[in-house]
Amino acid sequence: MDGECGGMRGNEMGVSVIIAAHHAHGTIVRAVQSLLDQDWTTWEAVIVSDDGTDYRPTLRAAGIDDSRLVFASTGRVGAGAPAARNAGLDAARLALVAPLDADDRFRPGRLSALAPIALARGAAFDNVAVVRDEDDSPLLRLFEDGQAPALLDGERFLATSVPMFPLVRRDLVPGWDEDVNFCDDVVFNVRVLDATGPVPLVATPFYEYRQRAGSITFSADSGERAERCYRHLLDRLADDGLGIRNEGLRHRFTQAIAAKRARNAAYEDAFKAGRCANFQEFLALGDG
């Protein structure tokens, strides 16, 4: 596709890809290059510095100087991915919004596959491939062949354990809670599905989630961080419902957190026993 859809052009059908960047000079070129490799060309990359550094020189040194690159900042150091994404949302100008972690990449064809669906249905999800960064070896896919549901609803999403990064129509983007700084993607996606209802899921793994040494999921305290996040989510659900309007979905979210806490405890045991280096490797063991 050349970025045209049903006669719409420009801002009406473009994708603002928000990249939160914290100590990401080693991976930002790959993330941005994955956008340059898309055949859906109506996009902008909103690169939000959360470490007080300028990412322009790093990209220019790699030969990347594109008018579709937008640079923003949290104005802080280590404010966190939710704060950076919110700053990116403030700077975004196009009809669709898509988060991209600075150490991940979109596979070719992702935007042309998902953007028309998101424009029509409010959001679109796809399968996710988890890849070990050091050697490019595949660890697992969110849905194996033949297992991906045609429609993703809140209940099906809450049964997953791999991060998902949808394209969402701008008027339906809920923003990111800055007090939820570990599993913010889960809250974001539940809110999206609360607003849209079930949306199509593309079975092809167009999003590549990279497991990289030094990332949060590799840290020795990642299990403790997850547990703190889950407890905080339970408190928020009891207090303000996390802004989720559907009572049944709020209830299922509470149940899902209980299941995730049990899985996280099993991961902690496996990690301490040296059976895995991070949560995604734990899932690949088949124990989760």
For 181-246, where are the alpha helices, taking DSSP H only?
A: 184-196, 222-239
The separation between CA 166 and the C-alpha centre of its own chain, rounded to angstroms, equals 7
Paired with 138 in beta bridges are 131
CA–CA separation, 59 and 51 (whole Å): 16
Q: What is the pLDDT of residue 96?
A: 98
Residues 184-198, mean pLDDT to the nearest whole number: 97
Average pLDDT, the chain: 92
Confidence of residue 42 (pLDDT cuts 50, 70, 90): very high
240 and 134, same structural domain? no
SS3 content of the chain, % helix, strand, coil (to 5): 40, 20, 40
176 and 43, same structural domain? yes
The three-state secondary structure class of 18 is strand
Residues 218-225, mean pLDDT to the nearest whole number: 72
Question: Of the ranges 50-59, 206-215, 230-239, which one carries the lowest mean pLDDT score?
Answer: 206-215
Q: What is the pLDDT of residue 216?
A: 56
Residues 8-34, mean pLDDT to the nearest whole number: 91
98 and 23, same structural domain? yes
Note whether 276 and 268 are within 8 A (CB). Answer: no
Q: What is the pLDDT of residue 277?
A: 80
The separation between CA 179 and the C-alpha centre of its own chain, rounded to angstroms, equals 17
Give 83 or 218, the one with higher predicted confidence: 83
* 278 occurs within a structural domain: yes
CATH of the domain at 156: 3.90.550.10
Q: How many domains does the chain have?
A: 2
146 and 83, same structural domain? yes
223 and 194, same structural domain? no
Residues 157-168, mean pLDDT to the nearest whole number: 95
Domain of residue 249, residue span? 218-284
Q: What is the DSSP letter of 107?
A: P
* 3 occurs within a structural domain: no
Q: What is the pLDDT of residue 269?
A: 83
194 and 246, same structural domain? no
The predicted model scores a pTM of 0.89
91-136 pLDDT, tens per residue? Answer: 999 999 999 999 999 999 999 999 999 999 999 999 999 999 999 9
Beta strands in the chain (DSSP E): 15-21, 43-49, 69-73, 96-99, 105-106, 123-132, 137-141, 151-152, 167-169, 199-211
